[in-house]
């Protein structure tokens, strides 16, 4: 047998069920030789032409499979995609929160630059590892339908389905689209007024925020070195938030991309704020000394209490963001098919 034909047949049969390989080899060889009879004294170019007429080895091998092979059964594919999207979104949120908690345990308040690097490093690693784990677990869970014992149980359950077990259809009014725009517009106006007013007052009066001592003297609260950081945070978070509302208003409803943009915007603001709160000497040291003198305790005690309060504030910020967007994503995936 010519080596070109031998290579072609091998490339086909190695992709076929082992029990059928010998029969497939004989059938292919016979077909090829029959086609080559049209080429007396055939050359390598003639063989190449015949083999291309038969097709690529992968396509030919696929024709010999009795049934299509899928990692995920086609009937479950839409549920698989939905589960994967939902799980990846929540795993990303959990990965970020986990990264922040881990970074806090490694916190060195004297090295603010290192804090940012540690956060980015942990977040990148966690997002990738959490995402890969979630993808693997969900894919294996859907693939397990191919296991006979599991398939039998699932088929039994699916065959015994009842209408009462199906999800209820969420109720909406015909003018829901218009109401949604009005609601978004009202929220946009109030949020914009609050953020712009509060942000402007905070930046303008940054140096005037003070702590009043018992003797009537005042002490500046925030470190002037970080006014630029606060200014950038307030301006960028205000712009992102307003853009998020404008995008939702343009769409007129909560869509996948508007919700994704809102989630990114929210966690940008939360993570930036957490980073600012972790800056060393954000609150001027003389304020801690003043509190220690007032409560007649050590500076170390006041510092420890301040750190506890700081961690509580950070926890509240992160948990509030997580719970809020967890509920919004759940609501979105429940109602996403209603208006199709």
Give the list of residues 6+ apart from residue 257 with CB closer than 8 angstroms, or none: 247, 251
Question: Average pLDDT over the chain, rounded to whole?
Answer: 82
In this predicted structure, what is the pLDDT of residue 316?
85
pLDDT-derived band at 338 (thresholds 50, 70, 90) equals very low
pLDDT-derived band at 278 (thresholds 50, 70, 90) equals confident
CA 99 to chain centre: 14
In this predicted structure, what is the pLDDT of residue 287?
85
What are the sequence ranges of the domains in the chain? Answer: 3-63, 84-154, 176-335
In this predicted structure, what is the pLDDT of residue 67?
66
Share of the chain above pLDDT 70, in %: 87
Interval 150-165 mean pLDDT: 82
Count the neighbouring beta carbons within 10 Å of the beta carbon of residue 184.
21
Share of the chain above pLDDT 90, in %: 9
Nearest to 315 by CA among 272, 282, 270, 248: 270
In this predicted structure, what is the pLDDT of residue 170?
58
The DSSP result for 128-192, as a single string, is HHHHHHHHHHHHHHHHGGGSHHHHHHHHHHHHT--GGGSPPPPP--TTHHHHHHHHHHHHHHHHH
Interval 138-154 mean pLDDT: 88
Interval 29-46 mean pLDDT: 88
Count the neighbouring beta carbons within 10 Å of the beta carbon of residue 22.
10
- Sign of the Cα pseudo-torsion (281, 284, 285, 287, in order): negative
In this predicted structure, what is the pLDDT of residue 89?
79
- Establish how many alpha carbons lie within 13 A of residue 229's alpha carbon, considering only the half-sphere containing its beta carbon: 17
In this predicted structure, what is the pLDDT of residue 340?
46
* 63-110 pLDDT, tens digit each: 887 666 778 888 888 888 888 888 887 888 788 777 777 776 676 655
Beta strand segments in the chain, E:
210-212, 218-220
Interval 229-248 mean pLDDT: 91
Two tokens, residue 322: 């997580």
pLDDT-derived band at 159 (thresholds 50, 70, 90) equals confident
In this predicted structure, what is the pLDDT of residue 66?
67
pLDDT-derived band at 140 (thresholds 50, 70, 90) equals very high
In this predicted structure, what is the pLDDT of residue 78?
84
**CA–CA gap between residue 250 and residue 261 (Å, rounded):** 13
- Lowest pLDDT segment from 15-29, 164-178, 225-239: 164-178
Q: What are phi and psi of 170, to 5 degrees?
A: -60, 140
* 164-222 pLDDT, tens digit each: 776 666 555 544 555 677 888 888 889 989 999 999 988 988 888 877 666 666 788 88
Interval 270-285 mean pLDDT: 84
């Amino acid at each position: 047998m010519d080596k070109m034909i031998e290579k072609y047949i091998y490339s086909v049969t190695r992709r076929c069920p082992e029990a059928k390989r010998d029969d497939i080899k004989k059938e292919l060889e016979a077909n090829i030789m029959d086609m080559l009879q049209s080429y007396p004294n055939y050359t390598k170019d003639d063989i190449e032409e015949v083999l291309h007429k038969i097709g690529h080895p992968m396509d030919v091998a696929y024709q010999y499979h009795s049934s299509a092979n899928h990692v995920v059964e086609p009937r479950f594919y839409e549920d698989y995609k939905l589960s994967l999207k939902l799980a990846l979104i929540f795993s990303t949120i959990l990965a970020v929160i986990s990264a922040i908690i881990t970074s806090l345990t490694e916190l060195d308040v004297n090295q603010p630059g290192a804090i940012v690097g540690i956060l980015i490093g942990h977040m990148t690693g966690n997002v990738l590892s959490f995402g890969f784990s979630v993808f693997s677990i969900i894919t294996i869970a859907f693939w397990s339908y191919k296991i006979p014992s599991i398939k039998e149980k699932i088929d039994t359950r699916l065959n015994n389905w009842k209408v009462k077990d199906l999800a209820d259809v969420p109720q909406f009014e015909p003018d829901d689209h218009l109401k949604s725009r009005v609601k978004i517009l009202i929220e946009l106006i109030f949020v914009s007024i609050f953020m712009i007013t509060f942000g402007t007052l905070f930046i303008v009066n940054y140096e005037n925020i003070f702590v009043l001592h018992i003797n009537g003297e005042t002490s500046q609260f925030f470190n002037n070195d970080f006014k630029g950081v606060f200014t950038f945070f307030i301006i960028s978070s205000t712009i992102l938030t307003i853009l998020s509302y404008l995008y939702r208003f343009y769409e007129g409803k909560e869509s996948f991309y508007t919700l994704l943009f809102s989630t990114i915007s929210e966690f940008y603001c939360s993570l930036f704020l957490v980073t600012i709160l972790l800056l060393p000497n954000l609150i001027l040291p003389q304020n801690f000394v003043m509190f220690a003198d007032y409560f007649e305790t050590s500076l170390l005690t006041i510092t420890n209490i301040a750190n506890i309060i700081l961690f509580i504030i950070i926890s509240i910020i992160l948990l509030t963001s997580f719970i809020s967007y967890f509920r919004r994503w759940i609501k979105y995936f429940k109602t996403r098919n209603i208006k199709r």
